[in-house]
Structure 1
């Protein structure tokens, strides 16, 4: 049996209006990563492979956790949220959400349009996104030893879809729940990928860290 630990990056620049502006850790995001690294140091710190995407918020999370990155792979980069949102508004009249309640209704709609091929002028199709993520996970699960994979919320949602056979609405609900710096354990046993832990934040469970439990 081998183990994959997926980690969502720490909080990024939540006030950004484009991909480039979003791609940096906030001060809190760096702190979340440091706390998670300390948790691993006190429990099971060793990883044979530390794999991240190429985005700054992903690599920065790994380094703030105290790990040396062994591989950067752009297949772990996040879906192009701002381009997808712009296309959904232009083609389907779906405005960007202004609060969490709106976002909970918004994301399943937009993911549905993307999955059905009903968006234009986006960097990749949903099928291409799926192929790159599942390809990397299927490669990583066959690597020897214990793997740490630092990525983003949309990627983790797709991994859950791949592992559990989720439909698009269910995948969207999973994506909505993935917290900043959360960890997700996958076990590869008997040639099957199985979910062991979803959305755990043991490093944020102390009462004085309640403010650090963030989604965006």
Structure 2
């Protein structure tokens, strides 16, 4: 039986002009994951990343502390099918003032519980995107995103040997959507699951020909290793 490790990227640069960039903490989270794998003597037959910068940066930081024998550079593959949905478009279709990054900064600076207030707005924006009532407003409507994620997983399975260990560096929305596909949960549960996924947490799938199942969800024991609550982030 083969294993697929779905890794959510490390903490990105929330609130900055370029979100698609790991923070210093995000890089440290990825190195902790690499140390965890090294301690477990884990070897990977393939490494797959989405096409976003934060995906590759997470992979690079993780493997920077793993033995060279853990994976061959030639076995790295980029598949944009594992990319996140366009969170900026989802947000501004509901709240147009956030088209301006400076407005986001002003909002965050003006609220005592800024991240909580921002998440409330984003939850409503997600509900709008997933409702199916405004698909024409989005370059990638929710059903199209969902189909893209499932197709990426199927490509991975089609190209895998029956007992490979494969690691995929991707995003929370993608992982939550793949869990929906495997578990048959509703759209509302996908959004709620997405909020709970920790940066650099690991979700593991088991597969054999014609069959794939969820084994573990949102494992971040490698971040708890240090006993530092600040190492566990959700945005």
TM-score, length basis structure 1: 0.88
Q: Deviations over 1:92-148 (max 9, x none)?
A: xxx9994336626852x4333222333344221112111110011122134121110
Q: 1:45 aligns with which of 33, 37, 42?
A: 42
Misfit runs of 4+, over 6 Å: none
Q: For the structure 1 residues 178 and 5, does the alpha-carbon distance in structure 2 shift closer, same or farther, using more than 3 Å as the test?
A: same
Structure 2 gaps of 5+ residues are 64-70, 97-103, 109-113
3-state SS, counterpart of residue 123 of structure 1: coil
Q: For the structure 1 residues 87 and 118, does the alpha-carbon distance in structure 2 shift closer, same or farther, using more than 3 Å as the test?
A: farther
- Say if 2:201 and 2:219, in contact at 8 Å, map to a contact too: yes
Q: For the structure 1 residues 44 and 136, does the alpha-carbon distance in structure 2 shift closer, same or farther, using more than 3 Å as the test?
A: farther
Q: For the structure 1 residues 38 and 111, does the alpha-carbon distance in structure 2 shift closer, same or farther, using more than 3 Å as the test?
A: same
> Which residue in 2 is equivalent to 1:160?
179
Q: Deviations over 1:21-46 (max 9, x none)?
A: 10000000000000100100111421
Q: 2:58 aligns with which of 55, 58, 61?
A: 61
Q: Distance in 2 between matches of 1:191 and 1:4?
A: 15
Q: 1:87 aligns with which of 75, 85, 93?
A: 93
> Which residue in 2 is equivalent to 1:176?
195
Q: 1:35 aligns with which of 23, 32, 36?
A: 32
> Which residue in 2 is equivalent to 1:76?
82
3-state SS, counterpart of residue 13 of structure 1: coil
Q: Distance in 2 between matches of 1:136 and 1:5?
A: 14
C-alpha root-mean-square deviation of aligned residues, in Å? 2.2
**CA-CA distance at 1:4 after TM superposition:** 0.6
Structure showing greater Rg: 2
Q: Distance in 2 between matches of 1:78 and 1:60?
A: 15
Structure 1 gaps of 5+ residues are none
Q: For the structure 1 residues 209 and 141, does the alpha-carbon distance in structure 2 shift closer, same or farther, using more than 3 Å as the test?
A: farther
3-state SS, counterpart of residue 95 of structure 2: helix
- Say if 1:104 and 1:176, in contact at 8 Å, map to a contact too: no
Which has the larger displacement, 119-128 or 31-40?
119-128
TM-score, length basis structure 2: 0.81
